[in-house]
Homo-oligomer: A and B are copies of this chain.
Amino acid sequence: MKNLLVAQSGGPTAAINSTLAGVIEKATENNKVDKVYGSLNGIDGVIEETFIDLTQLGESKEKLYLLERTPAAFLGSCRHKLKDYTAEEKLYIDIIEILKKYNIGYFIYIGGNDSMDTVYKLSTYCRINNISDIKFMGAPKTIDNDLAQTDHCPGFGSAAKYIATTVSEIICDSRVYNCPSVTIIEIMGRNTGWLTAASSLARLNNNLGPQLIYLCEKSFDTEKFTSDVKKALEKNITVVIAVSEGLKDANGNYLGESFQSGKKDAFGHKYLAGVGKYLEQIATNNIGCKVRSVELNVMQRCASHIASSIDLQESKNLGRLAVHAALEGKSGEMTSIKRKSNIPYRVEYRTVKIEKVANIEKTVPLEWITPDGNDIVNEMVEYLQPLIQGEVSIPYKKGIPETLFIKKGMIEKA
Residues of A whose CB lies within 8 Å of any CB of B are 12, 40-41, 44, 70-73, 76-79, 161, 164-166, 168-170, 172-173, 175-178, 201-202, 204-208, 259, 262-263, 265-267, 269, 271-273, 277, 280-281, 284-285, 292, 294-295, 297-299, 301-306, 308, 385, 388-391, 394, 396-403, 405, 407, 412, 414
Contacts and interface: CB of A to CB of B under 8 A. Distances in A.
Contacts of A266: 259, 262-263, 281
15 contacts: A72-B169, A161-B400, A168-B403, A169-B299, A170-B299, A204-B399, A206-B407, A206-B412, A206-B414, A263-B263, A272-B281, A273-B277, A294-B299, A385-B399, A389-B398
Contacts of A389: 398-399
Contacts of A164: 399-400
Given A12-B172, A165-B305, A205-B397, 5 more contacts: A204-B397, A269-B281, A273-B277, A299-B299, A391-B394
Given A12-B173, A405-B172, A400 B165 contact: yes
A205 B414 contact: yes
A120 to B, nearest CB: 23
Given A272-B273, A272-B281, A391-B396, A302 B170 contact: yes
A73 B299 contact: no
A269 to B, nearest CB: 6
A68 B91 CA distance: 59
A262 B267 CA distance: 12
Contacts of A267: 281, 284-285
B299 A285 contact: no
Oligomeric state, in number of copies? 2
B405 A208 contact: yes
A205 B395 CA distance: 11
B284 A269 contact: yes
Contacts of A292: 298
A314 B299 CA distance: 28
A63 to B, nearest CB: 14
Contacts of A284: 267, 269
Contact of A269 (B206, B285, B407): B285
Nearest to A389: B399
A284 B266 CA distance: 13
Given A165-B400, A177-B79, A398-B385, A407 B208 contact: yes
Contact of A401 (B40, B76, B165): B165
A134 to B, nearest CB: 24
Nearest to A394: B391
A281 B265 CA distance: 9
A414 B273 CA distance: 35
B390 A71 contact: no
A176 B77 contact: yes
A271 B294 CA distance: 15
